[in-house]
Amino acid sequence: MADQAIAAPASGDVRKAGIAQAIILVISGFLPILAIVSLTPAVPTILDHFKDVANASLLVPVLVSAPGLAIAILAPFAGMLVDRFGRRRLLVWSTFFYGIAGSLPYFLDSLHAVIASRLLLGVTEAAILTIVNTLIADYYDAKGRRRVLMIQGLAGPAMASGVIALSGLLTTLSWNGMFLIYLIALPIFMGMHFMIFEPGKTVSGAPAAKPADEGPALPFPTRAVALYGVVTLFASTLYYVFIIQGGLAFREVGVDNPARVGSLIALASLGVPVGALIFGWIGKRTLSLQIFCFFAFLGVGLAGIGLAPDYKSMMVVLVIQQMGAGMTIPILIAWAQSKLPFAHRGRGMGIWASCFFLGQFTSPFFVAGAKSVTGGTVQAAFLTMGIAALIGAAIALLVLAKGKADTGIRY
């Protein structure tokens, strides 16, 4: 069966990706994030609508997190399909069904049916996230990947702000109005149909010759994948601390008005594109330095939030935390991409996606454990998680000081 795996791109008459492909990949890479962002203003309204449903207070959060759970479970399997059957067709049709599954709750009035549709949405997201990151590695060299990932980091906050504003507007019209936002996937589907191409094909569409150093004969890089998987899970657990618990931290310093909290977080999130720009600068440097930087920024930010006596000082360190968040994802993705040969790239990026979204579920458990150990306050838990991040930064710095450069094979 291995002889049917996809051939790696070859030089010569192979079709080259350009700006159009980069734009499609940047926009489509936001679709899995949209599943969480779009519901941010709508959760209270959804809770009110289903207030008479048994266990609604538990089921509505499940509705929000269901796509992430599906990604964590299914992304590695999506990656195996990508390596076996190809990138383009699976991405195009996953995007189409993303639009259908995502908008389906607009036509439903059963909480359990909505949750089921959200799980189906997660299936499509597992494929989209895996393939987008795989194609970035397929289409571009290391410099091109850094550029595309940096643009993603710059564009993401702007797209998120637009989605949140539109979601709030649609929610005022109907409790499920925000689900119509997912129909944006349909024009993206059309753009993919014309712009996305299968790697390893010539300009005329014929299969390109396979170079001798690529292809299914290469073993799966188990050690490299295990290393970046563990670091990604640890980093993701820290990454989601503020996303999930940030509102509670503001409450402990006297800010409990949801609108006020939202505006403060939106202001601090300007640090995310700054972090993406920092990635664009340090992305060409040694991996240990990159890992040190994002762990250090996350650690200082989280620990600072834990120590902040008021919301003004919390805002200062929150900007630092958001800068770290802006570095984290592109650094981790670029690291994973550099370790995966073409024949195993889908599977390897699927494992990365699984580890990252698994952190969404491990993070609350670690925060709860930190609260129980440190006295029960959210800020104390933030301080503990910040110290954990700084330990990660110290380990990376130790590796950097010993001069252990990343000397493995890079793709």
Q: Chunk the chain into consecutive blocks of 10 residues (it has 411) and report each block's average pLDDT, rounded to whole numbers.
A: 45 77 94 83 85 86 87 95 94 97 94 95 96 95 92 88 83 90 95 91 56 61 94 95 86 82 84 93 90 96 95 95 95 94 94 94 88 86 95 89 61 74
Residues 161 and 269 in one domain: no
Is 407 domain-assigned?
A: no
Residues 283 and 387 in one domain: yes
Residues 42 and 126 in one domain: yes
Q: Which of 195, 212, 244 is the last residue of a domain?
A: 195
- Classify 202 as helix, strand or coil: strand
**Residue 355 to residue 236: CA distance in whole angstroms:** 8
How confident is the model at residue 75, as a pLDDT? Answer: 96
Residues 141 and 266 in one domain: no
CA distances from 78 to 306, 361, 386 (A): 39, 20, 33
Is 269 domain-assigned?
A: yes
Is 106 domain-assigned?
A: yes
Is 6 domain-assigned?
A: no
Residues 296 and 359 in one domain: yes
For every residue of 43-79, DSSP letters joined together read: HHHHHHHTTTSTTHHHHHHHHHHHHHHHHHHHHHHHH
Q: Is residue 287 a contact partner of residue 335, using CB atoms and an 8 Å limit?
A: yes
Q: Count of CB atoms within 10 A of residue 24's CB?
A: 21
Is 145 domain-assigned?
A: yes
Q: Is residue 378 a contact partner of residue 369, using CB atoms and an 8 Å limit?
A: no
DSSP state of 86: -
Q: Which of 160, 195, 230 is the last residue of a domain?
A: 195
Q: Comparing C-alpha atoms, which of 255, 292, 294, 289 is closest to residue 274? A: 294
- CATH for 106: 1.20.1250.20
Q: Is residue 147 a contact partner of residue 325, using CB atoms and an 8 Å limit?
A: no
Packing angle of the helix pair 19-29, 142-173 (nearest 10 deg)? 50
Domain count, the chain: 2
CA distances from 291 to 18, 187, 232, 303, 320 (A): 29, 37, 10, 18, 15
Bridge partners for 186 per DSSP: none
Residues 237 and 151 in one domain: no
**Residue 87 to residue 73: CA distance in whole angstroms:** 20
> Which domain range does residue 65 map to?
14-195
Q: Comparing C-alpha atoms, which of 280, 261, 49 is closest to residue 146? A: 280
Is 309 domain-assigned?
A: yes
CA distances from 401 to 7, 292, 395 (A): 40, 11, 10
Residues 33 and 173 in one domain: yes
Kind plus residue range of the DSSP H or E element containing 4 = none
Residues 255 and 366 in one domain: yes
Residues 276 and 153 in one domain: no
Is 1 domain-assigned?
A: no
How confident is the model at residue 10, as a pLDDT? Answer: 53
Residues 30 and 120 in one domain: yes
Q: Which residues contact 149 (CB under 8 A, 6 or more apart)?
A: 136, 276, 279, 283, 329, 330, 333, 334
Is 202 domain-assigned?
A: no
Residues 176 and 250 in one domain: no
Residues 185 and 322 in one domain: no
